Amino acid sequence: MTKQLSVKNVLILLKGLVLGAGLTVAGTLQAQTINLSYNGAPDPDKNAVHLFASNLKKLVEEKTDGDLTLNLYPNSMLGEEQERMEQVMNTPSLNIASFAGIAPQFPEIFVSATPFMFDGFDSARAFFDTGEYWKASQEEFYKRTGTRILAVVEEGGFLAFTNSKRPIHKPADFEGLRFRAMDKSQVALYESFGASGTPIPWTEVYMALRTGVADGQMNPPMYIILGSLFEVQKYLTLANIQYSDQFLVANGEWFDNLSERERKALEEAVAEANALNRQAVESQVEARIQFLADKGMEVYRPTAEELDEFRRISRPSYLQWLEEQGIDQKWIDLALKDAGLK
């Protein structure tokens, strides 16, 4: 019985791969249905990643007259970050990955999260839209994984600190606090301020904060709302330390084998969905901050002098950490040059 079920499951998997690639058993082209997986709830008002995915689905299907359709899988329904990346590397699919999904194959991605690299949306977007670092990153990522990064997806603006213990106005206020980290780069950042960091998946963050496993975390206001973190966090510090982004990744073999018409339609849809998402993210930042204040969070905007202190401590420490990870200096130099810091 076990063997029969196993064979059946294998046949189902093979059938899914064939149909996902847009082929019948006879090998003729037909309409394609592709999975798009990502994190966060399917709420376009709270989750910018879902807004992007929803717009992308609509635009792709319109531009291909239904020849290419997307099935959306939010809330990490198809697995956590690394599981989803393995899927997109091995099957015809799309995935919106965070740093935790990209970094195991391409740790050089951490260079783009250097603290205070950008002074606003325009400089961050220019860095990814036209910079040499990002162009080289896309090419290298394809060489290593066989997948293509099609877009940098904004997920709510710039990162803010929250915690349940005390207001954070300056780096010294971090001393002794325990923070949830998305990945090891954030652990290094917290440690530079005198706090400790523990990597915890997004799906477990609320409970970790509620039970005291962590005192605080770092995310843009959008994610604080999306995860209802205002229920378990009291203090919000708008340090804007890093740009908050994720990455749309496509299986390379599938993407490269699309017809010219389908590939052009997909690329146009990605660009248009990204433009819509950027507009929505930037326009909602202040409203989201006010929402959190109305929910009882104590909001603090650091002074220019305090931000300088955060920058003075965090950037050199982070750059040293990058070197300790064995990241080639050429990636750091490229990124700093593109950001106007070198």
Tell whether the torsion through CA atoms of 203, 208, 214 and 218 is positive or negative. positive
The domains of the chain are located at 32-155+245-284, 160-242+289-338
Residue bearing tokens 């409970």:
207
Q: Which amino acid is at 196?
A: S
- Asked if residue 34 lies in contact with residue 69, where contact means CB atoms within 8 angstroms, the answer is yes
- The type of residue at 160 is A
291: pLDDT strictly greater than 50: yes
Q: Once rounded to an integer, what is the mean pLDDT over residues 40-62? A: 95
Give the per-residue pLDDT at 19. 42
Q: What are the pLDDT digits (tens) for 159-192?
A: 999 999 999 999 999 999 999 998 899 999 999 9
Helices assigned H by DSSP within 41-93: 48-63, 81-90
How remote is the C-alpha of 202 from its chain's centroid?
11
CA 103, 176, 187 angle in degrees (round to 5)?
5
Say which CATH topology domain 32-155+245-284 has: D-Maltodextrin-Binding Protein; domain 2 (3.40.190)
Mean pLDDT of 285-312: 97
Query: Comparing 32-155+245-284 with 160-242+289-338, is the CATH topology the same?
Result: yes
Residue 28 pLDDT level (bands cut at 50, 70, 90): very low
| 256 token code pair | 């490269």
Q: How confident is the model at residue 12 (pLDDT cuts 50, 70, 90)?
A: very low
Q: What is the mean pLDDT of residues 134-147?
A: 99
Q: What is the CA radius of gyration of the chain?
A: 21
Residue 26 scores a pLDDT above 70:
no
Topology classification of domain 160-242+289-338: D-Maltodextrin-Binding Protein; domain 2 (3.40.190)
| Residue range 40-58: mean pLDDT, rounded | 95
**What confidence tier does 1 reach under pLDDT thresholds 50, 70, 90?**
very low
Provide the pLDDT confidence category of residue 310 given band limits of 50, 70 and 90.
very high
Parallel, antiparallel, or unpaired: how do β-strands 160-163 and 298-300 relate?
unpaired
Measured distance CA(271)–CA(277) in Å, rounded: 10
- What is the model's pLDDT at position 142? 99
For residue 236, give the H/E element and its range: strand 235-237
Burial 172-203 (b: 16+ CB within 10 A, else e): ebbeebbbbbbbbbbbbbbbbbebebeebebe
**How confident is residue 30, by pLDDT bands cut at 50, 70 and 90?**
low
Report the predicted TM-score, pTM, of the whole model to 2 decimal places: 0.87
Residues 6+ apart with CB under 8 A from 12: none
